[in-house]
Chains A and B, each alone.
Chain A
Amino acid sequence: MNGGVGGDLARLLAERRTDMAPIDAGRMGRQRHARLQAQLARQGVEAALLLHGPNVAYATGQPVRGVDVSYATFEHPVALVVAGEDRPHLLTDRVDPTLDVERHPAACPELDEGAADLARVVGEVIGPVAGRRVAVDEQTGAMLRTGVLEAADIADVSQVVGAAKLIKTDDELACIAEAQRRNEDAMAAIQDTARVGVTRGEVAGAFLAQLVELGVEANLIDPILQPMPRRVADGPRTTTETVAFPTGVGNPTFVEGDIVWVDSGIDHLGYASDFGRTWVIGRDPDAAERRLFQRWCDVMVAVLDELKPDVTGGDLCRAAEAANGGGRPWLPHFYLAHGVGVESAEMPLVGTDLGPTFDDRLVMAPGMVLVLEPVIWEDGVGGYRAEEIVAVTQDGWRHLGGGHAYPPFA
């Protein structure tokens, strides 16, 4: 793809794609621990008790699993980070010997007996919690009944973890880039299976099987392969009166001319990828559909031209709107761009319903990651949506991932 539609964008992304240094998981863990410690000190928090999988992964390196929430909550590992300590505590029976953590047997805080186990470990590690400032992400019902943190001064750990993970280390960026490259490789291998008469499930199954072949351990989202309506009125009713995506239900059979919005996410060493493309089933895109793609490329180029340290989220939104000829080229229940890391969507969030004042106060800094996901919609023609991941650098940005093209558009 060197010329024609999308050529400018492809060249721009290729110029800014740099080789990543090898990932050093030990160094990554030590640097994350240092960032958490800095936030604990800054926010006057004595200990952080973490149950939410991505938070535990950030604090300890414990890998996330591609399992349902019921498994994640019954079996989930728990992390405890204590201000001033060298290493985090990890409660799990699924021990990864390479992790630099203080190990404790698994507690199952979903159950009353497990919450009592957790209370015992918390007591051993930090002593009585009464009056102490302890940050948590959530407490299970059993923890509330058992009084694991009774009389503690409870803080919201999202302030601590959110601040720590906003700026990524080089190892974290390399993990995201590798996750994205593997996700792209799997999609490239199976895009041909999306043909007339094939079901969404069959294409998703080919993708999941491909992940096994590539050695990807955790798939993070049921692969989205959603045939889109041509008009908003032909799709589900929405609270925003725009097109519904991603609904994640049903198993449609593809027919010729379906515009399919594709979205998937996998894990690499605790970090998420975010693949997004638009496919057309059984034929080449027509002229009107190509116009949507061209405008999507124009919006991307305009936003990337603007992106560098010290510009704001508001600046990026305005660049996107101008390139779109006015009107916000993204889904109103989502964003123009979101961060990615241990969560598939995290700060910085750009263009959300947090509003323009929030966007104008959100200042880009080196090490931030943005998944740009503009959507071009023309009612009656349909929509083009795709995603690219970039990291803010000292002098601009760089592209993460492997440079997947935009077939069948370019």
Chain B
Amino acid sequence: MTASTPTPTSEDAELRAARRDRVFDAMATVGLDVLVLGRRDSVAYASGARSLWTAGSRPYGPACVLAAATRSIHLLSSWDEGVPPEVPFAHLYGVTWNGAILAGALAAIPGLAAARRIGVDALSPGFERMARRLAPAAELVPADDLMRAMRALKLPAEVARIRAAVAVAGAAMEAGAAVAGGGPAAARAAALQAAARRGVTVPTSGVSAWPSYPDNGARFHLDVGLLVDGYEGGLGRTLPGGDGDAAVVAAQRRLVDACRPGATAVDLRRAVPAGATRWRVRGSGMGLEAPVMTDTRGHADVIEEGMVLSVELELGGRRRRDLAVVGPGASEAL
């Protein structure tokens, strides 16, 4: 057996510290004594912990508890593997099927019982009951918007991670394109294996393929969405001949260019050519993030500097999806 955990670098520690500070600072701005997180991506953002990936939603539960008074992080984990050093072993509470055991572990977290405001990223009836018993004076406050707004604006180190993740997605796409003549299944399999050779086997949206109807199935769309070192790499092309269609390449360039600070969904719509059959611009980071902007969604949202966006466009049966980082004046496709 060889070492199974990558050696943590100082860069990891700095990024985790920066994210953690953001979360505690944001808690302070809205007066949260405690923040309870249940979603994998939120937990990873706040704590830096890595854990086994499972698909889809999980039943809601308190997977991570942040206490403002002590600026301490408490984590649902039965072991310290994947847990960063700033979360000491004493702050772990193990997986349990027993609500009483879980309640006992949470009750021991300093500051929870006396909390006046507890933020939650979602809420189940079971956890609401438990929270009202553990912290009778506390008001339960939705804090998903707090996390979402914070996560939408990336730190420079996060952009570097996303850049590296896109490189893995690119290698997967290249492998898929190389066997595109063999059809969508062959391309998917090759893309999956290319990512896996780089140690990446966790999907965000996954590696999917579907026919391009105007081409009567002669071409297909291949889309790659993978989680690399905690961040999403994404890319979409139509195969065979991913870069060969000048019209869609130019249209995508215009849409990426329109993703400037201050732009709204209306501005993006104007940048999309009339013949486009689909477009979507949405946040990307530790998975799908805010904002989500389409013809029908995100009309109150405004693009800001520091966002990383998944920009997607389909024109004449050719589809492109690229991640782009929004700079001070324009955005750059990664």
A contact residues vs B (CB 8 Å cutoff): 51-54, 64-76, 108, 110-114, 135-142, 144-145, 154-158, 199-202, 204-206, 208-209, 212-213, 218-224, 226-229, 235-240, 244, 246-253, 255, 258, 333-335, 344, 349, 352-355
Contact = CB atoms under 8 A, between A and B. Distances in A.
Contact of B292 (A74, A200, A222, A344): A74
Contacts of B60: 52, 137-138
25 contacts: A67-B203, A67-B205, A68-B40, A69-B57, A70-B288, A72-B57, A73-B57, A108-B292, A138-B60, A154-B125, A155-B125, A205-B197, A212-B192, A218-B55, A219-B55, A221-B53, A240-B94, A246-B52, A248-B50, A250-B5, A251-B6, A258-B1, A333-B96, A335-B97, A352-B97
Contacts of A74: 288, 292
B6 A250 contact: yes
B202 interface: yes
A213 B288 CA distance: 28
Interface stretch (B22-30, B74-82, B156-164, B238-246): B74-82
Interface in B101-146: 101, 120-126, 142-145
Contacts of A235: 81
Contact of A236 (B40, B80, B204): B80
Interface residues of B, number: 76
B39 A73 contact: yes
Contact of B82 (A54, A64, A248): A248
A111 B227 CA distance: 23
B1 A201 contact: no
Contact of B98 (A66, A213, A352): A352
A222 B202 contact: yes
A80 B94 CA distance: 34
Interface of B: 1-6, 39-41, 50-60, 77-82, 89, 92-98, 101, 120-126, 142-145, 185, 188-190, 192-193, 195-206, 225, 227, 286-290, 292, 297-300
- Among A68, A212, A246, A253, the most chain B Cβ lie within 10 Å of the Cβ of A68
A238 B77 CA distance: 9
Given A67-B206, A74-B292, A250-B5, A220 B55 contact: yes
Contacts, number: 251
Contacts of A344: 54
B106 to A, nearest CB: 14
A227 B52 contact: no
Contacts of B57: 51-54, 69, 72-73, 76
Given A222-B53, A246-B52, A239 B144 contact: no
B79 A199 contact: no
A141 B2 contact: no
Contact of A201 (B39, B123, B188, B199): B199
Contact of B4 (A142, A237, A252): A252
